[in-house]
Structure formats: structure tokens, C-alpha cells
Structure 1
Amino acid sequence: MWLILSKMEDDVNTDAPSSIPSKTLLGCFLDVADRYPERIAVKDGETSTTYHVLKARVLSIASALRNQGVEPGHRVAVELTPSADLIAALLAVQYAGAAYVPLDKKAPLERNRLIVDDAKPVLTISDSDISSLYYIDHVSIQTLTSAAASTNLGDHSRLDNTAYIIYTSGTTGKPKGVPITHSNLAALFCVTDSLFHFSHQDATLLYHSYAFDFSVWEIWSVLGYGGKLVIPDEAIKIVPHALAELIKEENITLLNQTPTAFSVNAEKLCQFQPEELSLRCIIFGGERLNFQTLKLWSKHFGLRSPILVNMYGITETTVHASWHIVNEADLMNPESNIGWVLPHFHYMIRPLGNELSIESGGELLLSGPQVTNGYLNTENDNGNKFIWLETEGVSQRYYCSGDVVKHTPKGELIYLGRCDEQVKINGFRIETGEIESVLAQLEDIDDISVLAAKTDIHGHHLIGFFTSSSAQDEEEIKEKLKSQARLALPIYMRPLRYRRIDVMPKTVNGKIDKKLILHSME
């Protein structure tokens, strides 16, 4: 049984923008570079790079790459420290007609080697001329930027070419490559431009690793429109008050954060008066948002200036697939509303068990112009994750997200968690995200993560790991959590134990690292 809960959004919105892009975002960058040559494109520490200079650097690097044997359709690995040169390198790879494969310098070497082995790039761009750690040809960014630009090269990016390949965690432990085309990427901004009204007056941070697809959104939301991309030093990113000062001084208008990161940074931003900041929009993504954590922010800034937008997305659907503007009612609701799918997406909800209702929810399936053509070199996974279904006489290709959602009477989507985060305790199938939503309503709780564990003494059971800035005794907070669970959850969904931790560990992408939490118990 399948429950079809939405038509394509443009079927009900006659003003929906076209999802058929006419040019690549790189083409848009080249246009705005000519339109705003003296505007700052990238601010890197004390160094400002104008659009004119950045474009010239892109052309120089692209020419050098072609001289190194890079051809349209090739893949080029990029392992650089975040800087204006990194941005120039990413764009130059695309200008040469190739796709970039990001390698996070902070990621384990073995993971990066697995990526290189799978993607088989023809070249690696690195920070130095030292011998490559990946046993393939490499070239330093200094060598590339010193090359003279060819006037005959031309922009070789095409809508149907792969723009980048970002690797996600695979269920087997081996990362899976997700090729995203220029068309996928352009479709994202075709529909979101009318929602966010990007312009040359915008400024945003490159806050996230360029190996995380949130960075793609950060880069193109400004460089495709003539705005400014600010690259914070790593030392600033990890100090909330320093980051807040940077956001103020650089007049950041668009701030992209995972909920975990924002829970750390929001307090220092609240030390400013609203008129001291240029923020017009804060965009959440990457993980489930608990709206109760926004109460402090709402008291200080309200919810209108800046607006807060909760966006849901997956690498396989090109960064973002839905959006929801946070309102006052959300702050009192334990559920995580991810709103409406973006225009031109079609979705279905697949049952997890034998029955499906609006209340119980199921797995979200997505179809549309932002969906990737499939994983790189993993035909078996493609068959499991991408399926063809016929609805209303039309056959469409869907991506099976692995995310559990339910449908509200108004037609919005509520995010419940991951299919693979469901656990069975004493025969009951449990969604840990639902438990976290209930427990996070306590004012003493800053963040909470509920995990399943097994011990000889307790057998299979649930543990609630929490952080708290409250001065209350740990045992008192634990008793409050137990009381909250008794009031709102059935017995089988109540954690057996609670444990206070100093910091909720995060992955390099800013998400809660549940594996590390469990490892801390050993």
C-alpha cells in the first residue's frame, strides 16, 4: 500500500518558477563578475578578492588544468585549506568541464583514500608540492594560480555534466559518491531564488566543510548573484563570541547552520541588539531541528527579522528539498516541521509496516529535477535507493530517502527521524527522534540524544545523553527527565538511564556524532 500525499508543487502553484535552467551557475558567476567586477567576491581573513580578480584566477587555474591533461568529463580531487584559492579551484575545475571531488583535510586519511580509489580522479589539487598521499598525479594550487590564462579555453561546463561528487556515509562503512550535475544544482537555485531573493547585497559564511553539501548552498547563494562569501578562520569558527563578532563586522545577511552548531553560537549572537546585525535569514539544515531550542533567540530577536527557515534535504536531492518558515506555534510544538517540498518536487510516503496513516507516517520518497542520476560505481545501491513508480498514469523515478515523515492536515511534512535510527526494544519499534522531541522541551536541557544500548545487566535499553548549562544538580535534572518521560511517553519509549555529558560531540559536518557518544561509554 502506498499513500500519495502531494501533487507536484507547480500543479497547485501557478506562479512557481521554472525548474528548467537555461545556464549553469558557473555561467551566472561569469556574468556577475562582468557586471560587478570591483565588488568583493571572497573575504578570506584580511584579504579581499574582487569578482574581477576571482574570475581571472579561475581562468588561469582552468588553463593550467587543461595543460595538465584535464578534459571535460574528468574528475579532479581537491584537498585545500579553505581560502579564496579553494573557491577559485572549485570553479576552475568546472570551467574546464570536469567535476570536483572534495577531500576534507580533517577527515581520516583512510576515508579520503577510499574516496580517491572510488572516484578515480585524474589529478589532485593540494596546498603544496609534496608527494601525493593518494598515489595519483597532483599539483599545488600555487603552481596553478601562477599560470597564464588562455584566451581560447572557454567555459566547458554544461548542464548535463557532473559539477561535483560528494561522498556520504554508506551502510557498509564504505563512502558512496553522489554525482550532482550542473542541471541539478541550477534547478535548486531556480526554485529557491524566488523564496530567498538572493542579491548582490547578500553576504554569507563558508561555515561548513566543502566536502559537506551545505557548502554548495553557501557558495552559490552569493557567488551566483554578486554577493560576498566570507571564509572564517578555523580558530574563529570554534569560538562563539569571535564568530558572532565576524557575523556583525562582515554584515552577514544569510547564515546557514546545523541546529547543533546554532545551539552553541546563538547565545553570543543574542548579545547584540537586532539593529546591530545585518542578518535577514537564518537557514537550518543537515539534521533534525528541535524548535524548543529557539526560545531564547525568539525572546531577543523575534522571528521576523531575521526570519528562521527550517530546510530538509539530502545530498542525493541536491542540498535542499523542503522549507518551512519558523513561527511562534512551532516553539510550543515538540514536532519538527520541515514544511513544504520545494516547487517541482513530487513526493510519496511509503509505509514502514503493513499499514500507513497520516498519523503514523512512513519513508519519504522524492522525485524531481534535483534528484541525482544515481551513486557512482554502486549499481546494487542504485537499484535499492532509486525506483520507478507510476502515479496517475505517469512513471517517475523516486529516491528513497530513508527518512521517516508524516503528513499534517495542512499538507506540511513532519520529520520523525531515520529509518535506520529506529530501534526495537522488547519487540516495540521505536523512533528515537520522537523521544528526543519530548525530552528536549525541558528548559534545563540544551541538547539531548537518545541511543539504544545493550549490557549484560540491562539487556537492550534506551539511554538519554544530554547537555545542560543549568546550575542544577545532575540527579535533579535526571529526575525531571524521568518525570517528563512518564507524562508523555509510553513505558517502552522511556529511557532506562540518563547521562550528562559536557559537550554533544559533532561530526566534521556539524551533526551530532552518535557513534562517538556510544564509544564514550566503553
Structure 2
Amino acid sequence: MIQSLINPQHKCTMLSRFFYITQKNKHLTAVKYRNQTVSYGLLNQWVGKIASYLSLNGVKPGDFVAVELTHSAELIASLLAVQALGAAYVPLDKKAPIERNQLILEDVKPVFIIGDKDNFHQKDYPFCDIYHCIQQMDISQSVSDSSQLTGVAYVIYTSGTTGKPKGVLITHNNLSALFEVTESFYQFNSRDVIMLYHSYAFDFSVWEIWSAIAYGGTLLIPDDETRIEPEKLSQLIKNENVTVLNQTPTAFSINAPKLMDFNRSELALRFIIFGGERLNFQALKSWEKKFGLDSPLLINMYGITETTVHATLHVVKKNDLDKLESIIGKVLPSFNYILRKLQDSPSSNDSGELLLSGRQVTKGYLNSDNTSSGKFIEIENNNLSRVYYCSGDIVKCNDNGELIYQGRIDQQVKVNGYRIETGEIESIMAQLDGIEDVCVIALRSEMLGDYLLCCFSSSIESDVTLIERFKILAKDKLPVYMRPLKYKRLDRIPRTVNGKIDKSTIIHSLELAYVS
């Protein structure tokens, strides 16, 4: 067992908060998974056993420890144990391609891997069998909480422009800053039941985990089958009285219809928090008609791994639902921001690339010269020099001081001399009834030259009817140079493990030539 005498009101790591809560509330439920209920006291015992084993095998502060497990209470204990030693955990998604995980291991060079011996394939690294460790390890060896605000807490790998994943180094200070500026709004507490919906290799999971276990709440882990079955998932949310649900807009569009089968009184939800991709506010109209917007509150949060999960917050209001624009809200108090003007852009003059500075901006990338990458730059303002992260996201500011998300710089394409933001077209095309998903891609062919292709999935059978409606909508809403020339129905729009549209897969499957 690991103890901490730190008062959580003082600046400390989120892990120290967990240990403080554990001492005062050992009996509370920390994690629920299938038929397994793990109290804070038992979870802390597991953390102590794993930390003792790793410590005896030489793991020390500053080391990297890879974790390759399915979602479970044992997974949570493993992540905490690594951090308790002052080391950083590196998640390996078991559903990711083996080649990607191999690239991560080659880059991070972990001193240890925590996994399950029955489903483990990485033979070149020292290995801890989590289940054997928890069952057999004696915790007579004393282990103290060695986490420090300046230390790296975890490393999340994101897609790199070269095709090689990049490891983002997130410190305990980054993580603490996120919760220090959001906890007064969300009021996380011991009555909360928060679902771990996202892969622990996706940084949305970090928010889900700590908003539960740093405040005495319960982290509810659905099994894989339940997670992908909207009917089973919604039933679990109801039966377990889930209070906070985090969703990408795409996931919510799939799960919301089954949740709307219940009456408001049957759900305990306080918040539904959106993140990970652009939110189409008009898609929330049916939810608002059924439940209103007061309980649960719907929150749109924009963020990037490099700025520690979330950077803005916006409470969805009824008048937002008639807007085409995607409001991401006001920047969290831990940040300073700049809008860097764009060159050669058809967007209005008040648009720019969002640059962020502050306590939540991470240390950068592992094994990378961050100053030469162009993503982390030093800017002097009012005789004060700050490091800013260049997000690559285009935003503008409205009259209320809120930021409006307009798309990615790397989603801007040049078609016949016009620079176009495909996300703007997608948000308009998504308004059509019966459209489940949509994406717009710039392509090139010898016969047609440069043109735009609109791919969509739909519950409506007639392609002809849909395409005619698309064309009418485009004519009403878009200038000629932004109107798709071709339309293509797909059974589904492919997405990455993080829920983002996978345009490269579409292009490859249709054997088309992309326009940069």
C-alpha cells in the first residue's frame, strides 16, 4: 500500500490526490468492470504490489514503462503504480497494428513492459505479468509516492507527418493544471460514476480516469462488446447511474438514439462532454427536444494531446443549434493564446491559426528537436517570452470572446487556384436528413482536373434523391468553387482508432489521386 499525506488543496500531482482520497475513503468503489468491484483500498494494495515488483526490478524515476493490457481494474492499477515510482507509462493499444506498437517501442525504449503473459508478443523487453504480480507479490517492501510535478506522467503517441508516430511527453504539472482550472465547473465528487469509454492510448481516457479516481468517484469500464453496442451501452449507463459521459461527436451520434429511448428521470447524467473532433451543433436538435439542455449539460471541449487533453470549454445553448459554425468556447484560464494570421486564405481576416501557451503546454516530443519542428515556438509579448504550441487549427473569435473552430490547416486544399477548407463543406453537407456521416476530399484526374468528392453514408436508400438534395444544398450554401463535383455513397466512412475520418483509406480504396 502507498500512502500520501499531501493535502490535495495544495499544488500536488493528481496521483497524490488519489492516495490522499484512498486514506480517507478506502471503502468507496474506485473501479467497476463487468462483475468486478474494486474499492479504493484494494486498488491501492494492487498499486503497491505492482510498484514493489517494478522497483525490485530496477524501475526508477524518469524511466519509461510500456503497458499493454485490455481495459480492466488491473490496467488502472498498473498506470498508477508506474507513476508512483516517478516513472511514466506508455500505452500500447492492443487493437493497434503490431507494426505501430513496434515503432513506439523502438522509439521509447521502455525499461519494462506490463502485460498479460497469455496475450503477450513483445519478447525483447523485461516483462511483468500483471495477474501473477497481483496474486503473488508480497508488499512488505515500503514504496512511497515518488511522483513530482516536474516529472513526466505518461507518453501518448500521435500520428506523425512522416508516417512514424510521435511521443508527446505530458508532465504531472500539465495534468494538474488541467484539473485545477476545470474542477470548480464540473464539481467532480465521490457520487460520480464516470465511464472509461476511450482507449487508454487516446488522451481522452486520461480525463476520464482522473476525473473519477482523483475525486473519490467510480470509474466504470464497459467490456468491448458493450462499448460498441449502443443498446447495451445505454442500458449500462442507465443501470450504473453514470453521471459523466465523454464522447466524440461521431460516437454520440451512434449512441444517442438508444439513450433517448429512456425518460430523463431514468438517467443520472450530469454532463455529456464532447471532444476529439468538430461538433455539428445542429445534430443535437433531437436530443434537445427530448431532454432539453439543462440536465445533463452538453459541453463542447476542444483540445490537443500537446496541450493536455482540453484547452477550451463551451456550454451548449439552444440558440447554438441553429448555427452552422462549431463553437469551441473560451480558452481555459491556464492558457494564453494568439491567432496567427493565415496567408492565401479565403477565410475572413479575423481567422487564424490557434497558438497556445501556458502550464498545460507539454514538454514536446520524445527524441525530437522541438525547436526545429516548428510546432513549439518562442514568442515575445509585452517583454515576456513564452513557448507557444502551434495547433494547426484554424479558429476565429466571435463577439462574445468565444472561439469558433473552422478546420485544420492541413485540411485546406487548393482546387483550381482556390484555397478551400473541406471541413466547412462537410458541416453544411451534414445538415441533410438521413445523413449518418460525410467527408469531402480534393482529388485530381486527367479528365476532370482538380475537383471535390463528397463521400457519405446514409440510412436513405435512393442515391439519386440524396445526390440531388446535396446539389441543391451546395448551390444554396456554397460558392461555385466549393461545390463538390462528384458524390459517392459508402457503407460507412472509415475512421482511425481515435475516431477521426481516415481519408487516406477512402482514397486508397477508390484508387484516386489526392490534391494537396
Using structure 2 for the length normalisation, give the TM-score.
0.94
- 1:352-367 equivalences under 5 Å are 352-353=342-343, 359-367=349-357
Determine which structure has greater relative contact order: mean sequence separation of CA pairs < 8 Å that are 6+ residues apart, divided by chain length: 1
Select which of 355, 380, 401 maps to 1:411.
401
* Superposition deviation, residue 312 in structure 1: 0.2
Give the secondary-structure state (helix, strand or coil) at the position aligned to 2:396: strand
Q: 2:126 is matched by which residue type in structure 1?
A: D
Conservation of the 8 A alpha-carbon contact between 1:375 and 1:382: no
- 1:117-132 equivalences under 5 Å are 117-128=106-117, 132=121
Q: 2:204 is matched by which residue type in structure 1?
A: F
Cα deviation, 1:364-415, whole Å, max 9, x if unaligned, reads 0000100001111110565411111111221111000011111112211010
Tell me what 1:486 maps to.
Answer: 475
- The alignment status of 1:34 with 2:23, answered yes or no, reads yes
Quick one: structure 1 residues 129 and 46, their matched pair in 2 at CA, closer, same or farther if it must change by over 3 Å? closer
Using structure 1 for the length normalisation, give the TM-score.
0.93
Tell me what 1:158 maps to.
Answer: 148
Tell me what 1:4 maps to.
Answer: none
Q: 2:263 is matched by which residue type in structure 1?
A: Q
Tell me what 1:233 maps to.
Answer: 223
Deviates more, 1:450-459 or 1:252-261: 450-459
Cα deviation, 1:182-211, whole Å, max 9, x if unaligned, reads 010010000010111111111111111100
Cα deviation, 1:203-240, whole Å, max 9, x if unaligned, reads 11111110000000000000000001111110111111
Q: 1:69 is matched by which residue type in structure 2?
A: G
- The alignment status of 1:496 with 2:485, answered yes or no, reads yes
Give the secondary-structure state (helix, strand or coil) at the position aligned to 2:215: coil
Select which of 15, 26, 49 maps to 1:60.
49
Q: Percent identity?
A: 55
Q: RMSD value over aligned CA atoms?
A: 1.7
Select which of 502, 506, 510 maps to 1:513.
502
Deviates more, 1:384-393 or 1:506-515: 506-515
Conservation of the 8 A alpha-carbon contact between 1:65 and 1:144: no
Take 2:346 and 2:480, find their aligned partners in 1: how far apart are those partners? Answer: 23
Conservation of the 8 A alpha-carbon contact between 1:404 and 1:419: yes
* Superposition deviation, residue 152 in structure 1: 2.3
* Superposition deviation, residue 423 in structure 1: 0.6
Give the secondary-structure state (helix, strand or coil) at the position aligned to 1:377: coil
Give the secondary-structure state (helix, strand or coil) at the position aligned to 1:506: coil
Take 1:356 and 1:450, find their aligned partners in 2: how far apart are those partners? Answer: 18
Tell me what 2:58 maps to.
Answer: 69
Q: 1:491 is matched by which residue type in structure 2?
A: V
Select which of 330, 336, 339 maps to 1:340.
330
Tell me what 2:6 maps to.
Answer: none
Take 2:363 and 2:65, find their aligned partners in 1: how far apart are those partners? Answer: 20
* Superposition deviation, residue 149 in structure 1: 1.6
Tell me what 1:213 maps to.
Answer: 203
Tell me what 1:280 maps to.
Answer: 270
Take 1:355 and 1:460, find their aligned partners in 2: how far apart are those partners? Answer: 18
- The alignment status of 1:178 with 2:168, answered yes or no, reads yes
- 1:317-336 equivalences under 5 Å are 317-336=307-326
* Superposition deviation, residue 144 in structure 1: 2.3
Conservation of the 8 A alpha-carbon contact between 2:68 and 2:92: yes
Give the secondary-structure state (helix, strand or coil) at the position aligned to 1:154: coil
Take 2:452 and 2:249, find their aligned partners in 1: how far apart are those partners? Answer: 23
Tell me what 2:242 maps to.
Answer: 252
Cα deviation, 1:474-496, whole Å, max 9, x if unaligned, reads 21111111111111111111111
Q: 1:79 is matched by which residue type in structure 2?
A: E
Conservation of the 8 A alpha-carbon contact between 1:284 and 1:310: yes
Moved over 3 A (4+): 129-132, 354-360, 380-383
Give the secondary-structure state (helix, strand or coil) at the position aligned to 2:404: strand
Conservation of the 8 A alpha-carbon contact between 2:370 and 2:376: no
Conservation of the 8 A alpha-carbon contact between 2:345 and 2:419: no
Take 2:365 and 2:178, find their aligned partners in 1: how far apart are those partners? Answer: 19
* Superposition deviation, residue 293 in structure 1: 1.2
Q: Which runs of 5+ in 1 are unaligned?
A: 1-19
Q: 1:274 is matched by which residue type in structure 2?
A: R
Give the secondary-structure state (helix, strand or coil) at the position aligned to 1:42: strand
Q: Which runs of 5+ in 2 are unaligned?
A: 1-8, 512-516
Give the secondary-structure state (helix, strand or coil) at the position aligned to 2:245: strand
Give the secondary-structure state (helix, strand or coil) at the position aligned to 2:390: strand
Tell me what 2:514 maps to.
Answer: none
Deviates more, 1:500-509 or 1:294-303: 500-509
